[in-house]
């Protein structure tokens, strides 16, 4: 996991780079969800509001805007399925730092827990098995 120190311009470029490569960059609402899609459980222990993106297969989706000191649950886009590699990008509103996870692989039956730390260096994302 990496702590990135990017200016807003560099972050915008990082999100837009896949578009230059001929891939779709989608910001806004992810595609329609299918039943059984995995859930990203987000806990924001930071005072700042955070945009949470998923980056996969040359596309970037804005999953959620999570207010500071709040939690939310978001379903993964339908295009993320078993064996697909993805990363989580956390971008604080009105700040220059960002968090980009190491590559993760979607595993059928797993949800994921994103814990945004009081400092982005303490941010973690990991698979969790949902209750039956």
pLDDT at 80: 82
- Write out pLDDT tens, residues 79-104: 888 889 999 999 999 888 999 999 99
CB proximity list for 125: less than 8 A, separation 6 or greater:
1, 88, 101, 104, 112, 113, 114, 115
Chain length of the chain: 132
Whichever domain contains 72, its CATH number is 2.60.40
pLDDT at 107: 83
pLDDT at 38: 87
> Residues of the chain whose pLDDT is less than 50?
6-11, 13, 15-25, 31-34
108: domain range? 2-128
pTM above 0.85, yes or no: no
Number of domains in the chain: 1
| CA count, 13 A, side-chain hemisphere, 116 | 31
């Amino acid at each position: 996991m990496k702590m990135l120190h990017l200016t807003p311009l560099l972050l915008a470029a990082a999100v837009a780079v896949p578009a230059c490569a001929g891939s779709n960059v989608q910001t806004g609402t992810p595609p329609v969800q299918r039943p059984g899609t995995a859930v990203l459980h987000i806990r924001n222990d930071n005072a700042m509001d955070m945009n949470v993106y998923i980056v996969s297969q040359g596309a970037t989706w804005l999953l959620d805007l999570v207010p500071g000191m709040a939690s939310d649950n978001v379903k993964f886009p339908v295009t993320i399925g078993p064996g697909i590699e993805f990363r989580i990008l956390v971008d604080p509103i009105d700040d220059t730092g960002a968090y980009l996870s190491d590559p993760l692989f979607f595993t059928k039956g797993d949800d994921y827990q994103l814990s945004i730390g009081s400092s982005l260096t303490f941010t973690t994302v990991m698979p969790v098995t949902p209750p039956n």
